[in-house]
Amino acid sequence: MPTIYANRLDRGSLRPEDDVILIFPRFLGVLMAALTPSLGDALLIVDVQNDFLPGGSLAVARAEEVIAPLNGYLALFARHALPVFATRDWHPVQHCSFREQGGPWPRHCVAGSPGARFAAALLLPESAIVVDKATRPDADAYSGFAGTELADRLHALGVRRLFVGGLATDYCVQNTVQDALRLGYAVLLLRDAVRAVDAAPGDGENAIARMLGAGAAAIELAQLEG
């Protein structure tokens, strides 16, 4: 098991090689009562779609590496009969985020297109609850909570703690995690199942630091299977 640090002040003594989890005291009980998924937990997979994978129009470097660990988490949640959510960009053809509309990104994840499909190798169960985001032409949304029914669906299932992984660390994962924390969820960031755009070097690691600083904890699949 990693060392557990229960407040931000402890980080000054950390070395790069230390295996740690950083958490706020207010989340200590619900985060660490048990790492093993249990009643009140849900797995939230963010935007593992073809356009973000190699060969896609907005490919994230090494994005394919999240699939194997995510499948491991999916198997774990299936064994415990716990809910799985999957967000996806589901843009109209003239979405405001596209460069031809004055936005920052190439056209990607157009609703119903092959690029908007979940990665074929991602073993989502039929019971997975799919959440479409950024569906309006005039509004972008990096968070899975922005303009969606995600919070209502989680509340209806009595979810209190989220295991979150997917793409990309420095955009949709970060915004989803930060919104989840603001809404009162405990969040475990799946450190082995996220990859970053890294438009500027270090963006991904900086995003992880912000998520941990806001109250998330970072874990990996081996900690749950060990």
Tokens of 100: 């031809």
Residue reference for tokens 């609703």: 111
Do the domain assignments include residue 136? yes
- Annotated active-site positions, please? 47, 133, 172
Q: Give the domain range for residue 47.
A: 41-225
Tokens of 159: 């979810």
Number of domains in the chain: 1
Do the domain assignments include residue 100? yes
Per-residue pLDDT of the chain (226 residues; tens, 9 = 90+): 343 333 333 334 344 444 444 444 445 555 545 788 999 999 999 999 999 999 999 999 999 999 999 999 999 999 999 999 999 999 999 999 999 999 999 999 999 999 999 999 999 999 999 999 999 999 999 999 999 999 999 999 999 999 999 999 999 999 999 999 999 999 999 999 999 999 999 999 999 999 999 999 999 999 887 6
Do the domain assignments include residue 12? no
pLDDT of residue 25: 46
Q: What is the CATH number of the domain that holds 200?
A: 3.40.50.850
Do the domain assignments include residue 157? yes
The per-residue pLDDT for range 51-61, each reduced to its tens digit, is 999 999 999 99
Do the domain assignments include residue 187? yes
Three-state secondary-structure class, residue 87: strand
Q: Quick one: which of 170, 157, 158 has its CA closest to 209?
A: 170
Do the domain assignments include residue 9? no
Do the domain assignments include residue 33? no
Cβ atoms of 166 and 174 within 8 Å: the answer is: no
pLDDT of residue 27: 52
Quote the percentage of the chain above a pLDDT of 90.
82
Do the domain assignments include residue 10? no
Tokens of 204: 């991904």
